[in-house]
């Protein structure tokens, strides 16, 4: 991803009690599913030429989307906006069967960049609906992932938005329920929702494995550790990125005196740094590392040049690219075909 032209020395180095420093959370930034989805659009542009249509934002990050737009990607809300016969990429958040059918009806050449961990939840939804279970899906109304998952069992799914929803839920049979969740929620809040659900429905069945994905969990564990020593936490990521917004909530819950989300370093306000000795920094799973580097550069201008990483997990998961893209444009095997997980700076240190 290209850098954003920065304005140097925008932030002032004002004195504070104590030594100024940055605690940099790791893991942070790109997960395997996001990396795969972004590479899928880049490779689709190489294979088929511009424009390539993408249904919804490929990942929820404004910089990634604007960069791909400059390369020739056209982002649309629905497949009905895509010219008949064109190539369309489905985003990492996944789609419902109705969207797949809509694309087929228009003879679109669909490339599915749904994260395999979202596909896993889709499969669970299908399996439980075939077994005539009723699904309580814990997730946020209107989020694309939730719409895609609900679309796999539309008549047998009830959405649970928050712990506060539990008391008023109406279900067909309280003894025939299973819960699933969106992949990018707060682990703690989801466990609280499940606890309340089980209080009301003691026979509630658990999913076979965690739906909140490894990347969401790892980034929350890392920021919990950083937050306990931070006067301020800066989370890099976009407002519509669920896992990014959760990182702000988790930082505040685990001891950060203040926490803010920024898309770009230029959004950091001087007054946030008043009296701050330790700044925690992290980024959501859809954030390219270059945006974190720009935050670190601005913080260095303000006297926070000492950066220590707080590493709570190693990540080396890789996903195969969508099958249409595992070869290069000439039909030869592509070196990124079996994964494409790009090593991030924090993994190289």
* Interaction site with ligand SF4 (CB under 6 A): 31-34, 92, 115, 117-118, 183-184, 213, 215-216, 243, 285
Q: Which is nearer to ligand SF4, 39 or 268 (CB)?
A: 39
Residue number with the shortest CB distance to ligand SF4? 33
Q: Which is nearer to ligand SF4, 136 or 285 (CB)?
A: 285
**Cα gap 20→299, rounded to integer Å:** 10
Integer CA distances (angstroms), 190 to 102, 105, 138, 221, in order = 33, 38, 7, 15
What is the CA angle 213-216-221, rounded to 5? 120
Q: Which of 42, 145, 147, 294 is catalytic?
A: 145
Q: Residue 315: left (phi > 0), alpha (psi -120 to 50), or beta?
A: beta
Q: Give the containing element (helix H, strand E) for 47.
A: helix 32-48
User: How many CA atoms are closer than 13 Å to the CA of 204, on its beta-carbon side?
Assistant: 19
Active site residue 145: yes
φ, ψ of residue 88 to 5 degrees: the values are -135, 135
* CA neighbor of 11 nearest in space, from 283, 267, 281, 309: 267
Supply the minimum distance, in Å, between the C-beta of residue 194 and ligand SF4.
19
Q: Which is nearer to ligand SF4, 86 or 96 (CB)?
A: 96
Supply the minimum distance, in Å, between the C-beta of residue 37 and ligand SF4.
7
**Cα gap 153→278, rounded to integer Å:** 47
Supply the minimum distance, in Å, between the C-beta of residue 211 and ligand SF4.
9
Q: Which is nearer to ligand SF4, 22 or 68 (CB)?
A: 68
Q: Which is nearer to ligand SF4, 145 or 294 (CB)?
A: 145
Supply the minimum distance, in Å, between the C-beta of residue 34 and ligand SF4.
5
For 344, the token pair is 């991030």
**Cα gap 185→54, rounded to integer Å:** 25
* CA neighbor of 158 nearest in space, from 119, 191, 201: 201
Supply the minimum distance, in Å, between the C-beta of residue 215 and ligand SF4.
4
Q: Which is nearer to ligand SF4, 92 or 276 (CB)?
A: 92
Contact 299, 270 (CB under 8 A): no
* CA neighbor of 63 nearest in space, from 318, 299, 294, 341: 294
Supply the minimum distance, in Å, between the C-beta of residue 218 and ligand SF4.
10
**Cα gap 319→115, rounded to integer Å:** 8
State the catalytic residues: 145
């Amino acid at each position: 991803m290209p850098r954003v032209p920065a304005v140097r020395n925008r932030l002032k180095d004002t004195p504070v009690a104590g030594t100024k420093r940055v605690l940099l959370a790791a893991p942070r930034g790109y997960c395997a599913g996001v990396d795969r989805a972004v590479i899928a659009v880049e490779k689709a542009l190489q294979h088929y030429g511009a424009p390539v249509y993408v249904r919804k934002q490929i990942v929820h990050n404004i910089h990634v989307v604007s960069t791909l737009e400059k390369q020739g990607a056209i982002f649309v809300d629905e497949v009905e906006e895509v010219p008949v016969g064109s190539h369309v990429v489905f985003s990492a958040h996944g789609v419902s069967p109705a969207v797949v059918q809509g694309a087929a009806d228009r003879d679109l050449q669909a490339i599915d960049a749904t994260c395999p961990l979202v596909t896993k939840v889709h499969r669970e939804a299908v399996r439980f609906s075939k077994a005539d279970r009723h699904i309580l899906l814990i997730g946020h109304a209107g989020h694309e992932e939730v719409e895609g998952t609900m679309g796999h069992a539309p008549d047998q799914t009830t959405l649970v938005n928050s712990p506060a929803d539990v008391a008023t839920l109406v279900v067909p049979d309280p003894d025939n329920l299973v819960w699933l969740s969106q992949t990018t929620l707060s682990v703690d809040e989801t466990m609280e929702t499940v606890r309340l659900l089980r209080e009301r429905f003691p026979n509630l069945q658990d999913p076979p494995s965690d739906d909140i994905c490894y990347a969401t969990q790892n980034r929350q564990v890392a920021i919990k550790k950083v937050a306990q020593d931070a006067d301020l936490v800066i989370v890099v990521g976009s407002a519509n990125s669920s896992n990014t917004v959760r990182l702000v909530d988790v930082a505040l819950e685990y001891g950060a005196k203040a926490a803010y989300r920024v898309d770009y370093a230029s959004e950091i306000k001087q007054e946030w740094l008043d009296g701050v000795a330790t700044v925690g920094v992290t980024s959501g799973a859809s954030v390219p590392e270059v945006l974190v580097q720009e935050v670190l550069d601005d913080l260095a201008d303000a006297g926070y040049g000492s950066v220590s990483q707080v590493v709570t997990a190693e990540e080396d998961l890789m996903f195969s690219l969508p099958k249409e893209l595992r070869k290069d444009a000439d039909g030869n095997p592509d070196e990124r075909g079996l994964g494409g997980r790009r090593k991030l700076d924090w993994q190289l240190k």
